[in-house]
């Protein structure tokens, strides 16, 4: 395996990051493992505890902050915490796989600052904020308040793009997957 052992991937919510990641996991089976974050947000339909997130209470989240269990954590949306557990990197490293951090932009840059050249930081850019809104509405997972919070945050998140190692625009999905695949082959010598 190359020296780079982690992939950090960030995008404004609704850009298509999960869709792209699922495709990359199919293209590179058994090379990557998803770092499962802890969150205080409610489970969406189809999500599984321990697979998509560790769904925990705010009380437990705060307790784990005090215990020093997080590599990083953010109050991503008002009242909702998301954090990368140190135990996840240990688990993935021991499997000899590349850890994938699917985190918000601040968390992504925080992890990049800690891991430096051991991590490749990739930003997925939506074609426009209007298209982002359409995708979030079509996904039918957010209520009006949560939709507005995600859109409000998108501008700030886009302004972080230049801090990442590379940016891929997700306009045409196939083109975006192919660009990500090429970058990953290069960076991780796959």
Alpha carbons within 13 angstroms on the beta-carbon side of residue 11 total 26
CB 97 within 8 A of CB 45: no
- Shortest separation between residue 97's beta carbon and ligand 5GP, angstroms: 18
Beta-bridge partners for 167? 123
Question: What sign has the CA pseudo-torsion 129, 131, 134, 139?
Answer: negative
> Rounded to an integer, what distance in angstroms lies between the CA atom of residue 169 and that of residue 148?
22
Question: Looking at 25-33, 89-97, 98-106, 132-140, which segment touches ligand 5GP (CB under 6 A)?
Answer: 98-106
Alpha carbons within 13 angstroms on the beta-carbon side of residue 138 total 9
- Shortest separation between residue 56's beta carbon and ligand 5GP, angstroms: 12
Please pick, from the candidates 84, 89, 149, 170, the single residue that binds ligand 5GP as defined by CB under 6 A: 84
138 interface partner picked from ligand ADP, ligand 5GP, none, CB below 5 to 8 A per type? ligand ADP
CB 129 within 8 A of CB 137: no
What is the number of the residue whose Cβ is closest to ligand 5GP? 107
Q: Decide if residue 104 touches ligand 5GP (CB under 6 A).
A: yes
User: Interface residues with ligand ADP (CB under 6 A)?
Assistant: 11, 13-19, 135, 138-139, 170, 173
15 interface partner picked from ligand 5GP, ligand ADP, none, CB below 5 to 8 A per type? ligand ADP
Task: Look up tokens 């058994």; give the residue.
Answer: 30
Q: Decide if residue 13 touches ligand 5GP (CB under 6 A).
A: yes
């Amino acid at each position: 395996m190359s020296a780079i052992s982690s992939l950090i991937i960030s995008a404004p919510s609704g850009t298509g990051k999960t869709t792209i990641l699922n495709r990359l996991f199919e293209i590179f089976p058994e090379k990557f493992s998803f770092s499962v974050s802890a969150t205080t947000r409610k489970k969406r339909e189809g999500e599984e505890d321990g697979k998509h997130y560790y769904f925990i209470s705010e009380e437990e989240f705060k307790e784990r902050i005090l215990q020093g269990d997080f590599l990083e954590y953010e109050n991503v949306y008002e009242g909702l915490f998301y954090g990368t557990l140190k135990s996840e990197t240990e688990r993935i490293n021991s499997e000899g796989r590349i850890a994938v951090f699917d985190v918000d932009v601040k968390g992504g840059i925080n992890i990049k600052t800690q891991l430096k050249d051991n991590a490749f930081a990739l930003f997925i850019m939506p074609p426009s904020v209007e298209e982002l809104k359409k995708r979030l509405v079509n996904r039918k997972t957010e209520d009006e308040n949560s939709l507005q919070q995600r859109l409000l945050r998108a501008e700030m998140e886009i302004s972080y793009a230049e801090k990442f190692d590379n940016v891929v625009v997700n306009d045409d999905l196939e083109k975006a997957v192919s660009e990500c695949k090429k970058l990953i082959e290069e960076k991780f010598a796959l």
